[in-house]
Structure 1
Amino acid sequence: MVLSGYFYMIQNMKNMKNLKLLQKIRKNKYYPFSFFSTHINFDTIEKLESEGEEFLFKNLLFLFEKYNKNSADKNMLMNAFILAKQVHKTQKRESGAAFVTHPLIVALLAISYKPCANFLTATILHDVIEDYKMEGSIDGRAYISDKIKTEFGEVVYNLIEGVSKVQSIKNGKNFSKQSIKKEIDKKTIEKIFQHSSCDFRILLIKLFDRLHNIITISGKKDPEKRRKKIEEAITIYVASAKRLGLWNVKILLENACFRALHSEYGGGVEKKGGALENPKIINTIKKIVKNSKVSVEKNSEMNSEQHTSYILIETDNEDSCYTVFSQLNKAFYLKKDSFSDYISRPKLNKYKALHANYIINNSEIIEIHIVSSEMKKRNIFGVFVDIQNSDFSLPSLSSSSLNILHTESEQVLHNIKKILLTPQLTIQS
């Protein structure tokens, strides 16, 4: 009884602390924003570090409350914020900003996908296990791991442990300091993919973590470290985002890498609108497909020769996609060998759409993608659709979802070996 009373007192103190934190956060006006766009201003994200952790957490909490009103979940995020501030209080990023701003911005990058409290809590604390230090002979990593398990549960702990850097390697005394670091980096990537085969939220946290690191990579002084991080992002994490169907994350990561490699271009790729700059063409298509939504989207592929726009037509259902395709064929000339049916044969990341190029005005070519509302959601949110549908209650999800990750893991093995000069890795489920 005494022990239970003690824990009750501790919990009550935490709730009071959170209440004071919430009151402090709500004193000022909210500045809500969303990162759910492929046209993020990277310079703005870099400047966010200077806004301070209170400002960042205020925005995170505001956006979280838009889709989750559960007070226990909100309390979990506030406890995570308090712990992150404690662990990172003396740390600085190479830019000079307080280190705790980094995990908060990473969480903000993910918030548009409406992840649950466990995911966001792990994101806020994703560097805590490897950064926690204790004086004396006590094992700091073991202590903070137990603390996380007790306060936030096994699920959150497993997510954080999954992205945490490997602490040491076997026979480390036989290697030079540089070789040990390279071996640890290699083992860490291997560990992330091994753990992700059981719960791919680990890889999702790492993707958003790497996205922010690449956006702010100009603060890293060592040019060789910058080059390595960028190369690793392109060959491993861009490919992973694509395979998991996180199209916006893939494009943002590509553009961030392009900006870092070619800063003279201002961080973006110039998109040529071509025929789509003519409003008459858009209006003509809208008249043809009266009951469908028509919009112009940017088709950003880092490795393509041209960066063009395309027209996205959104219908009510799958059958309507083929009806719209038939209507367009009657109005325009379909370019030879340009039609791709990803509805009957979806891509490995479950992407579905009809793609077709049409010749208009005798010479100009327009690219059109036709999707249903449900397909559009899947194409944008990727595996987050599976996560939302299952409410995180079954992290392993369906075998088909895991097959996506397993396939990607097999494909990126060559890239991992190329960057880190590792022997062949075995990804276990």
Structure 2
Amino acid sequence: MLKSEELINKVKSYNKFLNPETLTKAYEFALKAHRTQKRDEGVPYIIHPVAVADILSDLKLDSATIATGLLHDTIEDTHATYDTIKEEFGQEVADLVDGVTKISQFQKKAGENSKAENFRKLILATSKDIRVLLVKIADRLHNMRTITFVKDKEKQIRKAKETMEIYSPLADRMGMNRIRDELEDLSFQVLNNEARELIKKRLDEIKENRTSSFKTISFEFSDLLNQNKINAKIIGREKTPFSIWRKVQKKRVSLEQITDIMGFRIILDNVEDCYKALGLFHSKWHCIPGKFKDYISSPKINKYQSLHTAIIGPTKRPIEIQIRTMPMHEFAEIGVASHWKYKS
């Protein structure tokens, strides 16, 4: 578990103007409020809010949001009230904590009979501040990371279904692709672990071949871009077991037939270079019809931007490529959270 000073130092690494008093106070308040409580796995409850604050600091969020992560269960699960939080931490933090508490209360009332889509709409409509949703998604992410410690198997399945139907689409709607992928994969592990293990086994079988292919292809891509004076950072993107399984289901093909397990992200300095690079890839290799999408000129509804294409690459196999600038890449990874960076 992160200590108070470690959390503060982590936030200071990206927010040099941080006043550490609020976070120290929130940490101590949560520690005291949850002191007699335990998690399902038998560990002190405080581990959970600290882990949520840690996830929020990974997203480089402002201090009010991180304080909310520490305090998010205090109104619901302890003797603390909205007025107590407001008096101790001010209205901004109190409103955020209250917003997270309301979502949890809606969830309990809604039960299994409520349609996931309706519940998602309800969450979006009632969350006046997007940071409430960021805290709730971080809360769910930590709960899913520790789901195997929940002794009640039915509860595990219920939470995993809820995550797949409500929180993964919410993360997607907010452009938080990295967290969406992890939520989906953790849920998949609970709901269909047998299929997940089969896919992991297949990935392990071709791992060595994949690593050498990645190096070869990266070198060819770099060489082509360097020759044309385009500065690039190339990242290999391995698909998650769940995204591979979804493709198998959608295309009705066997696992052996899925070849585009590895994708590439090409990070460039500016938009002009993105289109130049795209032209170079399409000139040198055959592009696969129907696979090109321009999300730079026409962003997705969640503001995601990137050029997507697929080519028959140097290894004569299909390769998926995403071409974007660094700000686009940051947004693609953490979505709306990237707008809150460095604010305090």
- What's the TM-score, normalizing by structure 1? 0.67
Whole-angstrom distance in 1 between the partners of 2:269 and 2:8: 33
Q: CA deviation at 1:71?
A: 5.6
Q: What is residue 219 of structure 2 aligned with on the other side?
A: 283
1:80 is matched with which residue: 18, 21, 26?
26
Q: What is residue 320 of structure 2 aligned with on the other side?
A: 367
CA contact (8 A) 1:298 1:309 kept: yes
Q: CA deviation at 1:159?
A: 0.7
After superposition, give the CA deviation of every residue in 1:302-348 in whole Å (9 maximum; x if it has no partner). Answer: 62225711111111111111111111122111122221111111111
Q: What is residue 253 of structure 2 aligned with on the other side?
A: none
2:184 paired with 1:247 = no
2:247 paired with 1:304 = yes
Q: Which amino acid aligns with 1:154?
A: Q
2:35 paired with 1:89 = yes
Q: What is residue 54 of structure 2 aligned with on the other side?
A: 108
Q: CA deviation at 1:203?
A: 1.0
Q: CA deviation at 1:246?
A: 0.6
Whole-angstrom distance in 2 between the partners of 1:229 and 1:93: 15
Q: Which amino acid aligns with 2:27?
A: F
CA contact (8 A) 2:157 2:190 kept: no
Whole-angstrom distance in 1 between the partners of 2:105 and 2:333: 38
* Residue 166 to residue 341, structure 1, CA distance change in 2 (3 Å): closer
Q: What is residue 193 of structure 1 aligned with on the other side?
A: 124
| 2:28 aligned counterpart, secondary structure | helix
Q: CA deviation at 1:299?
A: 3.0
Q: CA deviation at 1:256?
A: 1.3
* Residue 360 to residue 117, structure 1, CA distance change in 2 (3 Å): closer
Q: CA deviation at 1:191?
A: 6.3
| 2:341 aligned counterpart, secondary structure | helix
1:294 is matched with which residue: 231, 234, 242?
234
Whole-angstrom distance in 1 between the partners of 2:105 and 2:51: 28
* Residue 188 to residue 338, structure 1, CA distance change in 2 (3 Å): closer
- Whichever of the two has the greater Rg, that structure is 1
Q: What is residue 147 of structure 2 aligned with on the other side?
A: 217
| 1:382 aligned counterpart, secondary structure | helix
Q: Which amino acid aligns with 2:6?
A: N
Gaps of 5+ in 1: 1-50, 134-140, 170-179, 393-429
2:89 paired with 1:152 = yes
2:280 paired with 1:327 = yes
Whole-angstrom distance in 1 between the partners of 2:271 and 2:180: 26
Whole-angstrom distance in 2 between the partners of 1:215 and 1:156: 26
* Residue 166 to residue 113, structure 1, CA distance change in 2 (3 Å): closer
| 2:298 aligned counterpart, secondary structure | coil
Q: What is residue 27 of structure 1 aligned with on the other side?
A: none
CA contact (8 A) 2:291 2:309 kept: yes
Whole-angstrom distance in 1 between the partners of 2:37 and 2:218: 52
Q: CA deviation at 1:131?
A: 1.3
| 1:287 aligned counterpart, secondary structure | helix
Q: CA deviation at 1:235?
A: 0.6
Q: CA RMSD in A?
A: 2.9
Q: What is residue 75 of structure 2 aligned with on the other side?
A: 129
Q: What is residue 64 of structure 2 aligned with on the other side?
A: 118
| 2:247 aligned counterpart, secondary structure | coil
Q: CA deviation at 1:263?
A: 4.7
Whole-angstrom distance in 1 between the partners of 2:289 and 2:103: 52
* Residue 166 to residue 258, structure 1, CA distance change in 2 (3 Å): closer
| 1:91 aligned counterpart, secondary structure | coil
CA contact (8 A) 1:164 1:188 kept: no
After superposition, give the CA deviation of every residue in 1:171-203 in whole Å (9 maximum; x if it has no partner). Answer: xxxxxxxxx95547969977643332x211111
* Residue 337 to residue 166, structure 1, CA distance change in 2 (3 Å): closer
Whole-angstrom distance in 2 between the partners of 1:127 and 1:325: 48
Q: CA deviation at 1:86?
A: 1.3
2:170 paired with 1:228 = no
Gaps of 5+ in 2: 249-257
CA contact (8 A) 1:292 1:314 kept: yes
Whole-angstrom distance in 2 between the partners of 1:267 and 1:91: 38
Corresponding residue pairs, total: 317
Bigger relative contact order (CA 8 A; separation at least 6): 2
2:340 is matched with which residue: 387, 390, 407?
387
Larger CA deviation: 293-302 vs 180-189: 180-189
CA contact (8 A) 1:214 1:253 kept: yes
Q: Which amino acid aligns with 2:189?
A: R
